[in-house]
Chain A
Amino acid sequence: MSITLDQVTKRYQGSPVVNDVSLEVGEGEFYVLLGPSGSGKSTLLRAIAGLTGVDHGRIALHGNDVTHVSARQRGVGLVFQNYALFRHMTVGENIEFALKVRRMKAADRRERRKELLRLVALEGMDDRLPTQLSGGQQQRVAVARALAHKPPVLLLDEPFGALDAKIREELRRTIRQVQRELKITTVLVTHDQEEAFAMADRIGVMNLGRLLESGKPDELYARPATRFVATFLGAANLLLARQTEQGIRFGAAPVNARRVEKLDGGREQEVVAVLRPEEVELAPTRDNLRTNFIANGIVEEQVFTGAFERMRVRMADGAANAHIATPDMNGGSAPAALLDVTRTQHEQRLFPLALGQSVAIGVRRIHVLPTPLSSYTAYGSDEASCERLSQHPFLVELASRMKTRIIKRHEAPLVACDAPASAPVSGVAVIAAGQKTAEQLQWLLQNGAGEVLVLPAHSSPPQRVLIHWADDSARRSTLAVAASLLRHVAAEAVYVGILPEGTSGESQRPFGVRTLLDARSEAQAVHGLEMRTELRFGAAADELQRQLNESQDPMLILGVSDPAQLRSTFGALFTSGASYPMMIVYRPSKDTDGAGE
Chain B
Amino acid sequence: MSFRQPSILPGFGLTLGFSTFFLSAIILVPLAALVMKTATMGWGDFIRVVTDPRALASYRLSFGASILAATLNSVFGFIIAWTLVRYEFPGRKIIDALIDMPFALPTAVSGIALTAVFAENGWIGQHLAPFGIKVAYTWIGVVVALTLIGLPFVVRSVQPAIAEVQRDLEDAAETLGAGRFTIFRRIVLPTVFPALATGFTLAFARAVGEYGSVIFIAGNLPMRTEITPLLIVIKLEQFDYKGAAALGFIMLTMSFVMLLSINLLQAWSRRRIVAGAR
Q: Which residues of A contact B (CB under 8 A)?
A: 46, 49-51, 70-72, 74-78, 80, 82, 84, 86-88, 97-98, 101-102, 129, 131-132, 145-146, 148-149, 151
Contacts and interface: CB of A to CB of B under 8 A. Distances in A.
B191 interface: yes
A75 B175 contact: yes
B272 A97 contact: no
Given A72-B178, A98-B177, A101-B182, A88 B172 contact: no
A543 to B, nearest CB: 40
A149 B176 CA distance: 8
A102 B186 CA distance: 14
Given A51-B175, A72-B175, A84-B168, 7 more contacts: A49-B171, A71-B171, A78-B175, A98-B177, A101-B177, A129-B272, A132-B276
B273 A97 contact: no
A80 B177 contact: no
22 contacts: A51-B174, A72-B175, A72-B179, A75-B175, A78-B172, A80-B171, A86-B169, A86-B186, A87-B273, A88-B191, A88-B272, A98-B176, A98-B177, A101-B176, A101-B178, A102-B177, A129-B275, A132-B276, A132-B278, A146-B175, A146-B176, A151-B175
Contacts of A75: 175-177
Nearest to B178: A101
Given A80-B168, A84-B168, A88-B191, A131 B175 contact: no
Contact of A51 (B171, B190, B275): B171
A69 to B, nearest CB: 12
B187 interface: yes
A88 B273 contact: yes
B190 A84 contact: no
Nearest to A133: B275
A455 B140 CA distance: 73
B161 to A, nearest CB: 13
- Interface size class on chain B is 20 to 34
Interface string B246-278: 000000000000000000000000001111111
A208 to B, nearest CB: 25
B154 to A, nearest CB: 21
B166 interface: yes
Given A84-B166, A84-B171, A149 B177 contact: yes
Contacts of B99: none
Nearest to A131: B275
B192 to A, nearest CB: 11
Interface string B150-185: 000000000000000010110111111111001000
Contacts of B166: 82, 84
B269 to A, nearest CB: 8
B190 A88 contact: yes
Contact of B174 (A71, A102, A145): A71
Q: Which of B166, B168, B178 has the most CB of A within 10 A?
A: B168
A50 B177 CA distance: 12
Nearest to B189: A88
Contacts of B273: 87-88, 129, 131
Contacts of B174: 51, 70-72
A72 B275 contact: no
B175 A71 contact: yes
Q: What are the 10 tightest A-B residue pairs by CB atom distance, in nearest-first order?
A: A131-B275, A98-B176, A84-B168, A84-B172, A88-B190, A78-B175, A101-B177, A71-B174, A80-B168, A101-B178
Nearest to A129: B275
Q: Which of A46, A72, A76, A146 has the most CB of B within 10 A?
A: A72
Contacts of B177: 72, 75, 98, 101-102, 149
B273 to A, nearest CB: 5
Contacts of B179: 72, 101
Contacts of A78: 171-172, 175
Given A84-B169, A84-B171, A131-B273, A97 B191 contact: no
Nearest to A98: B176
Contacts of A86: 169, 172-173, 186-187
Nearest to B172: A84
Contacts of A84: 166, 168-169, 171-172
